[in-house]
Chains A and B, each alone.
Chain A
Amino acid sequence: MSKLSPLAGILVFLAIWELGVYLFNVPAYLMPPPTAVAKTFVQEFPKLLFHGWVTTYEMLLGYVLAVVIAIPLAIGITSSHRFDRFITPQLLFFQVVPKVAIAPLFLVWFGVGTTPKVLVAFLISFFPIVIDAAVGLRSMSSEMTDLARSMGATRWQLFARFRLPTSLPYLFSGLKVAATLSVAGAVVGEFVGADKGLGYLLLVTNSNMETALMFATIVALTVIGLVFFYVVEFLEAFLIPWHVTHRVREGSGTM
């Protein structure tokens, strides 16, 4: 029952939207009814698929780049005070600079190809991963450190056997936030200058007043973002089952 209610909520929302469009006679170029959006989605599916794949590709590259750079950086930050003091203010600086403002610069530097989009997706997903990974790597209790030291654990053992696994639940919350942001990053990159991708399609449909296709594009973007989020969540359940099981149990109240 509880699994049905979000779906029911969406259906009610769509029904009100559909009815509202007819009742108030809203012109289609302003607000197409959901049925028209669905029809366009099906008709234009090959087009959406092509542009969707371009955006997905840019998003994934940017995300993977962010993961690959953010995790070692978080390890560096949490293992050396000097490195922390040196790098953290700069990270904050780059995070505060609006990504939308940097995107045109990337266009100047790297042209209209894939690179600027990947970079914006990278920049946008990078920060939450570094922050949460660092919080996770610092989350080990001092008792656990004492325990490890009483066992004669080496520095490497302390890291690999205790600190890193302890950090994973935090790391994954950062990875999930980043997953939802990275789509937006790729789209922002495409807004600035592109000849393909869902961001490009949004601009084109916008200037042509093809509002139904624009809505269909937004739906496609949402689907990509959701699917990506659930893929990361699935990975989480697979890699740190102790954490996820715990959470589910606490939530379900079957204990």
Chain B
Amino acid sequence: MAAEAYIQLDDVSKVYRAKAGQVEACGEINLDIRESEFVAIVGPSGCGKTTILKMVAGLQPRSSGSITVGGRSVDRPQTDLGIVFQDAILLDWRSVLDNVMLQVDIRNLDRATYEPIARHLLELTGLKGFEHHKPFELSGGMRQRVSICRALVHDPPLLLMDEPFGALDALTREQISMDIQRVWMEKRKTALFITHSIPEAVLLADRVVVMSPRPGRIVEIIDIDLPRPRKLDSMPEKFSEYTGRIRSIFKASGVLAMD
């Protein structure tokens, strides 16, 4: 099992040293993610979810433990991946298509090879016809879709998403969840998806990692055994069993009030 894991976190912890003192963001993190697996991390705000994602991406050094991706220890920014942040972070001066192609330009990849891929991704996420629009002409949801396309255009083996719907309204969140599922079913990338929404985690993930409040610990890892494609409006009983179970874990750790 351990040998075939694509991402391996062994007893990872992170302590931030700020002026006001030390902040233990998370600790005792043990998690193996298989290739092509979709793993969601749910947890209350401030429990170190972003920190874990940044440590996996090599954008934030860990304080202890070991992280390997594809068998290699992570000790510098990883480039064999695509990241979607909470904000779309588009370049205002580039068109929609060129924002997706930024990934290709920075990596000095061949534009002619990747432009059709970029266009295909834009079509897959409902952005056909907007290729030459500028970011300020788009809604929040459309901007986030562009950033998802940008994270995928170079066909990375790993997709990291940090609360990609955080800033969006409920309807848009649902639509983009469906977009992500569609893209993921087509590409089957290893995906690490961070959210504080329980239904979104259950909807998208093969496994849901439930975390405790800060300092974040993994409380439980739940296998989600639901057929794909999953739809929010036609979910079997089991869907609410899963969300209910996660909810009760949060209640037990005091994150959700008892009702």
Q: State the A residues within 8 Å of B (CB).
A: 141, 143-144, 146-153, 157, 161-162, 165, 240, 242-243, 245-246, 249
| Chain B residues whose CB sits within 8 angstroms of the CB of A245 once the complex forms | 134, 136
Contact check, A147 vs B83: say whether CB atoms are below 8 A apart.
yes
State in angstroms the CA–CA spacing of A204 and B91 once bound together: 54
Residues of chain B with a CB closer than 8 A to A162's CB: 91
Which residues from A are CB-within-8-Å of B102? Answer: 151, 161
B165 to chain A, nearest CB (A): 16
Q: Is the Cβ of A141 less than 8 Å from the Cβ of B89?
A: yes
Pick from A141, A146, A240: contact of B59, CB under 8 Å: A146
Contact assessment for B136 and A240 in the assembled complex, using a CB-CB cutoff below 8 Å:
no
Do A249 and B93 touch (CB < 8 A)? no
Is A152 a contact partner of B85 (Cβ separation < 8 A)? no
Question: Given known contacts A146-B54, A245-B136, A249-B136, is B106 in contact with A165 (CB within 8 Å)?
Answer: no
Residue of A nearest to B79 (CB): A152
The answer to whether A143 and B134 touch (CB under 8 A), given A150-B59, A151-B107, is no
Q: Which residues of A contact B105 (CB under 8 A)?
A: 161
- The reply to whether A150 and B78 contact each other, CB–CB distance below 8 Å, is yes
Q: From residue A186, how far is it (CB to closest CB) to chain B in Å? A: 34
B89-A147 in contact (CB<8A): yes
* CA distance in complex: A161, B85 (Å): 19
Q: Contact at A240–B93, with CB atoms within 8 Å? A: yes
Taking a contact as CB atoms closer than 8 A, the residue among A141, A143, A148, A246 that contacts B106 in the complex is A148
Contact, CB under 8 Å: B92 / A242: yes
Partner of B136, one of A141, A165, A246: A246
Interface string of B90-120 (1 = CB under 8 A from A): 0111000000001101110000000000000
> Is B81 part of the contact surface with A, judged by Cβ < 8 Å?
yes
Structural contact, B85 and A147, CB atoms closer than 8 A:
yes
Task: Show 23 A/B contacts (Cβ-Cβ < 8 Å), sorted by A.
Answer: A141-B89, A143-B85, A146-B54, A146-B83, A148-B106, A149-B59, A150-B57, A150-B81, A150-B82, A150-B83, A151-B79, A151-B102, A151-B106, A151-B107, A152-B77, A152-B107, A157-B106, A161-B102, A161-B105, A162-B91, A242-B135, A242-B136, A245-B136
When the two chains form their complex, are residues A146 and B85 in contact, meaning their CB atoms are under 8 A apart? yes
A150-B136 in contact (CB<8A): no
Given the complex, which residues of A lie within 8 Å of B83, measured CB to CB? Answer: 146-147, 150
Residue of A with least CB distance to B77 = A149
- Check if B92 sits within 8 Å of A150, measured CB to CB: no
Please measure, in the bound complex, the distance between the C-alpha atom of A242 and the C-alpha atom of B78, giving whole angstroms: 31
Residues of B within 8 A of A144 (CB): 89
Bound Cα distance A245, B92 (Å): 11
* Cα-based distance from A165 to B134 in the complex (angstroms): 15
When distances are taken between beta carbons in the complex, the residues of chain A under 8 Å from B77 are: 149-150, 152
- Residues in B neighbouring A249, C-beta threshold 8 A: 136
CB distance from A59 to the nearest CB of B (A): 30
Q: How far is the CA of A153 from the CA of B86 in the complex (A)?
A: 21
Contact residues in A for B136 (Cβ distance below 8 Å): 242, 245-246, 249
Q: Are A143 and B87 in contact, CB atoms less than 8 angstroms apart?
A: yes
User: Which residues of B51-84 are within 8 A (CB) of A?
Assistant: 54, 57, 59, 77-79, 81-83
Contact A165 B93 (CB under 8 A): yes
Tell me whether A243 and B89 are in contact (CB under 8 A): no
**Closest chain B residue to A165 by CB distance?**
B93
Additional A-B contact list (15), CB under 8 Å, known A149-B77, A150-B83: A144-B89, A146-B83, A147-B83, A147-B85, A148-B106, A150-B57, A152-B79, A152-B106, A153-B106, A157-B106, A161-B102, A242-B135, A243-B92, A245-B134, A249-B136
**Shortest CB distance A250–B (Å):** 9
User: In the assembly, what is the distance between CA of A141 and CA of B107, in Å?
Assistant: 21
Cα distance A245–B102 in the bound complex, in angstroms: 22
A240, B94: Cα distance in complex, Å:
11
CA gap between A165 and B92 in the complex, in Å: 9
Closest 4 CB pairs of A and B: A152-B79, A149-B77, A151-B106, A242-B92
Q: Are A165 and B87 in contact, CB atoms less than 8 angstroms apart?
A: no
What is the distance, in angstroms, from A187's C-beta to the closest C-beta of chain B? 37
| CB proximity to A under 8 Å, residues B140-186 | none
Question: In the complex, A240→B135 CA distance in Å?
Answer: 14
